Structures are given as structure tokens and as C-alpha cells.
Amino acid sequence: MKKAIIIIALFLICNLALAQFAGVMRGQKEEPLPEGFKPASTNTFISQYPAVNAATRQAMFRVVAPAAQIVQVDLCGKKYNMTKDEKGVWTCVSDPQIVGFHYYAILIDSVAVMDRGSEAYFGSNWESAGIEIPEGPEGDYYRFNKNIPHGQIRSIDYWSEINGKERHINVYVPADYEKETKKKYPVLYLVHGWGEDENGWSIQGHTANIMDGLIAAGKAVPMIIVMPSGDIKTNSDVRTASGDISQIYINDLIPFIDKTFRTYTDKEHRAMAGLSRGGFQTCMTVLPNLDKFAWMGTFSGFFGFRGNNTIETAYNGAFKDPEVFNKQIKLFYMSIGTEERMGAKEAADQLINHGIKNIVYFESQGTAHEWLTWRRSLYDFAPRIFK
């Protein structure tokens, strides 16, 4: 019995030591949330804050920091000063936000840190806090639907000779992939944006929910979606990002996927799309390799005619002869959020006026350079390919 008591005591000590970090969250349970506010869907499961008011689209933040001098929230380009109560608990309520997913930071005496109430969302090259301002019922397309078959996201490390290192990818396979053991599938390569990583599309983007819904409804054909990293890590101490990511996609990743999954390997069954910098990487990868892709999409990310480049010279003259381009690419999809004003409409019009066909231009109403724009883009883009 004595030993049993020792076991229990050590277990408790150990867990209490671990639990010291969790104090903030325990404190949160004491007070009910203000009227109209609910915990954000992006929180850790135990956290009540940040909280969101779906009607006003405001977010409320809470930080326990009795010894701090200034605590702020940095959300969508605005710093909010938080107010401290007598217990050292800081709170603030934001302005109404654009719907969708936003990265944010807490500033403790000017140091930007992650809010411990949030789950981690890799963005801007760090594990950032994020908050979802709910879109309402129209956002059902990216939420889990228990009444339809579900695909899987497969987490895989593959060896890249070019990188000299294993690289992590996530691969969505549709619900029927394992039942139809002879069936081959088309493949969409889907790339994240600057400062994000290969998990962005499956976590912030809800790719599996979106595709499960589209496929179950017969709107999109069952397809494999490969979500790689758009950055290059190295084994050196400094770990600089360098090298040509397109070469890794073309020469290491595509052969690995075609070897590992049951894919169609012709260009009519291969697409690539990306958001922001990933849209640029899509152009940099697809345009010099028109024999390998027939479908492409840039979501908030076509940076075509820059520097000294014109529509004739951009991407080594890929658009110079519209007839050549039109024979190769069945869809050149460009999308943008109406609140980000990045000139995609003008670029699309320029291409159309130049004679480039098969362009689809899509605007996400009321959204910025953020994940809701890209969820909507995928939802609109995926039904258009491989048909």
C-alpha cells in the first residue's frame, strides 16, 4: 500500500508540474462568456477564449498577465490595447472582422507571442495563433459532414535527391480510393502561401471537407490532391531556404507520387494550383512544363507582368503566342478576394484581350488575402478540372 501511495503521489506531482503551464486555461472556466460570444472554432478544445460573436463579427480576447505592463492584440493590421482588471486579466473586444480565418498575435510588453487559447497555425514562418470568424451556414461546405463518405489526408515523408533530405507532404485521397483498388486518379498539386507550410491546405484550408462534399455531390471528379511544402529546408546549420522548388516538384515529387499512388500520368490528368506565393510557384512550375500539366490555378497569386516583363515576355514568353498556349492549357484559373485589391481582374483582362482562352476569373466577395478566399477558390476551382 505504501508503494501504491508513492506511485499516486509521484503521478500527481508530475502532472501538477506539467499543469503549471495550463493555469491560464483553468482560470478561464470561472466566468461565463459575455452574451452572444462563443469560443472560436480555432481554439484548443479546452479554451473559451478567444471568443467570437457571430452576429457582430467581433472577437474577444483574454490574457492572464498580472506582471505585464502593456498587453495588446495584433489582428488584421490593427493593434488593440487590452484592459487589465484587478486580477491581472487583460481583455479586449475587436472591431467587426471580415469573415474567415485570420492569423493574429498577442503582444506582451511588445513581444509578439502566440495566444495560448488558440491552436497553432503555421503562418508568417512561425506557429501563429488564428481565429475563425464564422461565415454562417454558407460555410457548411468546409465543415465536416457526417452523412457522406470521407477521404483521408495521408502524411508522408519522401526522399528528395535534389533537396538531399526527406520532405513532408500531405496527400488527400478520395473516399473511394481504397475500395476501387484498380481505379486510377488524376492529381492536383496544391501549394500554400508565403510563410505557411504543407499543412496549411489541410488545416486552415479544410481541403478534405471541401473535396469530400464536392465529390459526394458529383460536382468534382474523385482526385488525389498533393500538398507539398513550397520552402526548401537544408541540413546545414543555417537552414537557408534556397534552390529551385519547381525542380523538386517536377523531378522528385511527381515521380514519387506516380510511383506511390494509382495515378493517371498524362498531362490531361495533372493540375497545379497555389495561393499567393504558391500561385506564383504554380506559374513558375507549369508554364515551362506545358507538356506535364493541362490545368492551373492561381488564388490571390498571379504576379505575371512585373519588372521589365510584358505579357509577351513574362515567364519566358509562355503567353507570347496565345494559340500555342491555348492548345496546352485547358484552364487557367485566377481568383482574388474583393477586399485584397491585388489587380487580378486587370491581369485576367489583359490575358483575355491578348487572346488567351480558357481563363476563369473568380472573385470571393467580402474577403481579403486570407484563407476564406482560398477555401472558396478551391471549392470553385476543383469542379472545373479533369473534365
With CB under 8 A as the contact rule, the residue among 54, 93, 156, 284 that binds its own copies is: 156
Q: Judged by CB under 8 A, which stretch of 66-74, 324-332, 353-361, 377-385 contacts its own copies?
A: 66-74
DSSP classification of residue 82: P
Q: How far is the CB of 258 from its own copies (least distance, A)?
A: 14
Q: Does 152 bind its own copies (CB under 8 A)?
A: yes
Q: Read out DSSP for 94-112?
A: PPP--SEEEEEEEEETTEE
Which of these, 152, 180, 185, 154, lies nearest to 258 by C-alpha position? 185
Nearer to its own copies, 85 or 237 (CB): 237
Q: Judged by CB under 8 A, which stretch of 94-102, 302-310, 325-333, 375-383 contacts its own copies?
A: 302-310
Which of these, 94, 104, 110, 97, lies nearest to 124 by C-alpha position? 104
Cα–Cα distance for residue pair 147/139, rounded to 1 Å: 16
Q: How far is the CB of 387 from its own copies (least distance, A)?
A: 27
With CB under 8 A as the contact rule, the residue among 4, 30, 86, 136 that binds its own copies is: 4
Q: Does 360 bind its own copies (CB under 8 A)?
A: no
Nearer to its own copies, 182 or 218 (CB): 182
Q: Does 158 bind its own copies (CB under 8 A)?
A: yes
Cis amide leading into 50 (omega within 30): yes
Q: Judged by CB under 8 A, which stretch of 151-159, 213-221, 266-274, 374-382 contacts its own copies?
A: 151-159
Q: Does 55 bind its own copies (CB under 8 A)?
A: no
Nearer to its own copies, 209 or 285 (CB): 209
Q: Judged by CB under 8 A, which stretch of 98-106, 284-292, 323-331, 354-362 contacts its own copies?
A: 98-106
What 3-state class would DSSP assign to 364?
strand
Interface with its own copies in residues 254-293 (CB under 8 A): 276
Cα–Cα distance for residue pair 346/86, rounded to 1 Å: 54
Q: Does 187 bind its own copies (CB under 8 A)?
A: no
Q: Does 16 bind its own copies (CB under 8 A)?
A: no
With CB under 8 A as the contact rule, the residue among 27, 33, 284, 357 that binds its own copies is: 33
Q: Read out DSSP for 271-294?
A: EEEEETHHHHHHHHHHGGGTTT-S
Cα 304 to chain centroid, rounded: 22
Nearer to its own copies, 46 or 55 (CB): 46
Cα–Cα distance for residue pair 227/221, rounded to 1 Å: 18
What 3-state class would DSSP assign to 124?
coil
With CB under 8 A as the contact rule, the residue among 80, 101, 103, 379 that binds its own copies is: 103
With CB under 8 A as the contact rule, the residue among 31, 34, 36, 46 that binds its own copies is: 46
Q: What kind and span of H or E run contains 18?
A: helix 2-19
Binding-residue total with its own copies (CB under 8 A):
99
Q: Judged by CB under 8 A, which stretch of 9-17, 245-253, 281-289, 326-334 contacts its own copies?
A: 9-17
**CA separation (Å) from 301 to 244, 327, 331?**
18, 23, 16
Q: How far is the CB of 39 from its own copies (least distance, A)?
A: 6
Interface with its own copies in residues 216-255 (CB under 8 A): 231, 233, 237-239, 241
**CA separation (Å) from 210 to 50, 91, 148, 244, 374?**
25, 35, 12, 30, 11
With CB under 8 A as the contact rule, the residue among 58, 91, 176, 194 that binds its own copies is: 194
With CB under 8 A as the contact rule, the residue among 119, 176, 258, 339 that binds its own copies is: 119
Q: Does 319 bind its own copies (CB under 8 A)?
A: no
Q: Does 31 bind its own copies (CB under 8 A)?
A: no
What 3-state class would DSSP assign to 197?
coil
What 3-state class would DSSP assign to 159?
strand
Phi, psi torsion values for 172, nearest 5 degrees: -85, 130
